[in-house]
Amino acid sequence: MKAGKSKQTATLKDIALKTGYSINTVSRALRDKDDIAPATREKIKQAAREMGHINNMIASSLRLGYTNTIAVILGDVSNPHFAIMMKEIEERARECGYFSFLINTDEDEELELKAIQSALNKNVDGIIICPTQRCEENIRYLKATGVPFVLIGRRFENIPADYVICNDELGGYQATKYLLDHGHRDILMMHGPSYISSAKERLAGYLKAYEEAGLQVDDRLICEVPVTANGCRQVLDRVLEQEIPFSAVFAFSDLLAWDAWSYLKQRGYRIPEDYSVIGFDNIQSRLTLPFRLSSISSYKGRMSVSAVDLLVSLIQEDRTDSQPREVVIDTKLAEGDTVGSCSAVLV
């Protein structure tokens, strides 16, 4: 049986023959060069579309030294916080002349390494990454490649790198103080794993608010939960079964706060009459929902835009030997309907 002939894409020469322009004019038109008249560019692009021309980005990158693409590596795109962040990164990158694509790691360090390698194999101009932080090796590897990158949302103490984060300690302090000001003294802190910088810093803010108020912290109420799973339910089960007093929940993220809220309601408790709940990320600043979760705004939009602008400057300025730029954006309390005054402590 005769093998089928593979389909060939139209070449620049084919398009030049069809349109009557030179190969150089066709090439420049397809790259949107300003010295080609708009009408001519559109005529050539239309012919290219009709002929099935595919711009070979790999060949172009080898010739030009850049691809105008950036990779965005995030931990859990099922979390609306990351989904919103990706959309805003994509919009800003497009404004700056870059295409972006997303790789999800599920907060797994092995998948993170593969994501980095995949991005590098695509010859991206730069990478924006929210690191898993289970280990430092992946970021050290990325740093050794010399490819520009920016950390977003998290940072390393021992690895000098450009990053954009929110002021997590301030946010932890604001959430805890808000609950304390409403009369809550036993606040269940559901924070992420301690190897994650944002979790550690939010916990520091929680402790600072207690210290400032001259109150003792019940260590039994400081609980680590997985940031990608429904860990809140197991924690709440244990705390309720052991009859550890608490009147409010401060969750590491809005996603976990929603989980805690839902579970407490299933158990027959009212929010905020019986328990108050506050989250982190203020996802509802971008989503319309029939309820308002009290939360700490991390200003995802500012973080996203700042991360793209910082990465573009790294790519275009080639400043590999200079001091890392550290962008910290202050947080703000976003009042909702899930925090009330404490009149009694339930267990």
pLDDT interval class at 290 (50, 70, 90): confident
Strands 294-297 and 332-334 turn out to be antiparallel
Q: Between 218 and 31, whose confidence is greater?
A: 218
Whole-number Å distance between alpha carbons of 281 and 166: 10
Q: What average pLDDT does this structure show over 281-306?
A: 88
152, 130 Cβ separation under 8 angstroms: yes
- Encoded tokens for 64: 């030009």
- Single out the residue of 86, 73, 79, 153 nearest to residue 120, CA to CA: 73
Residue 346 has a pLDDT of: 44
Position 8 pLDDT exceeds 80: no
Whole-number Å distance between alpha carbons of 187 and 179: 8
Beta strands in 7-90 (DSSP E): 69-74
Residue 45 has a pLDDT of: 87
What percent of the chain is predicted at pLDDT more than 90?
71
Q: What average pLDDT does this structure show over 287-309?
A: 90
Weakest-pLDDT range from 46-50, 73-77, 184-188: 46-50
Digit-coded pLDDT (tens) for 87-121 = 999 999 999 989 999 999 999 999 999 999 999 99
